Amino acid sequence: MSTDLVSVDIGGTHARFAIATVDEDGTITLGKPETLHTEDHASFQTAWEDFRQRMGGSLPPRISMAIAGPVGGEVIRFTNNPWIIRPALVREKLGVENYCIVNDFEAVAHAVARAPDDQFLHLTGPDRSLTPDGTISVLGPGTGLGVAHLWRSGGDYRVQATEGGHIDFAPLDTIEDAILARLRKRHNRVSIERVVSGPAIVDIYQTLAAMENRKTRDEDDIAIWTRAMEDQESLAAAALDRFCLSLGSVAGDIALAQGGFGGVVIAGGLGYRLREYLPKSGFASRFRAKGRFAELMAGIPVKLITHPQPGLFGAAAAFARNFR
């Protein structure tokens, strides 16, 4: 017998909903996603009611939520969103029988564990499947830098969410020295997500401009990313190349720290948008550039997950695992 549930992926700007079906053999099918703007709703409960109305007035009595932020404690607060969720009241407020709450990148790691091979794009290393037995590292740039890992053994797996995006940034050349110096003027401690995240492209771009004594205007990261990806400006393209280099370095460091020798997966919305750029960039060489461990790094398959909704898919997978 299959099980229906509502899968939800909640970030700072959007809350995505979908009806998910888990078949007896564990196969997960997602219905058409609905995307709501968090700023248009006073609370998660009112967003839930909006989605319920869109679905004809009734929903399955089960929900799994992937949340951008820490998920422990009596009150869950979002990193970039004024909503709060009190887990003890979820059943009463939403009218559900069972619920599951996971960190958003924990959900992505569940998606990595369950997604078929054809939903991964090969980036570097041996062109083989992710390990069926061992550790797989998962990271992805977005508003911040999400990091998790999963461990497979005997056909089963376990996921561990982490705060790996907040380890210290380690520059490898004079340009990265300059980026670090710029960031140190505002932050006493510079973490890797200050350099490897969507907003970080602004500091990378402005550092490169300063090296060439170019004047820059005040603009957000979206404008720079747009020029870079559409190849409208050489300096923006150089910032994109530098971002890919840093992402490769960080991915290699995470693999070393977690023992992710069974594979590394790049995820996140920005990671997906970079799918055409990473294979052509210095990402691979930086991933391998770990001194005496270069040969070890060259033996790790590195993939990019191409599932269109890994957060929703992973939230459903987390529910299936917790209530199996």
3-state secondary structure the chain: CCEEEEEEEECCCEEEEEEEEECCCCCEEECCCEEEEHHHCCCHHHHHHHHHHHCCCCCCCEEEEEECCCCCCCCEEECCEEEEECHHHHHHHHCCCEEEEEEHHHHHHHHHHHCCHHHEEEEECCCCCCCCCEEEEEEEECCCEEEEEEEEECCEEEEEECCHHHCECCCCCHHHHHHHHHHHCCCCCCEHHHCCCHHHHHHHHHHHHHHCCCCCCCCCHHHHHHHHHCCCCHHHHHHHHHHHHHHHHHHHHHHHHHCCCCCEEECCHHHHHCCCCHHHCCHHHHHHCCHHHHHHHHCCCEEEECCCCHHHHHHHHHHHHHCC
For residue 6, say whether it is annotated as part of any ligand binding site: no
Task: From 171, 163, 123, select the one nearest 144 (Cα to Cα).
Answer: 163
The Cβ-side half-sphere exposure at 39, using a 13 Å CA radius, reads 3
For residue 75, say whether it is annotated as part of any ligand binding site: no
Alpha carbon dihedral 177, 268, 103, 26, in 10-degree steps, equals -140
What is each CA distance from 24 to 3, 14, 28, 206, in whole angstroms? 8, 31, 10, 53
For residue 27, say whether it is annotated as part of any ligand binding site: no
For residue 13, say whether it is annotated as part of any ligand binding site: yes
For residue 28, say whether it is annotated as part of any ligand binding site: no
Answer positive or negative: Cα dihedral of 81, 269, 160, 8. positive
For residue 311, say whether it is annotated as part of any ligand binding site: no
Task: Give the annotated binding-site residues for ATP.
Answer: 8-13
Task: Give the annotated binding-site residues.
Answer: 8-13
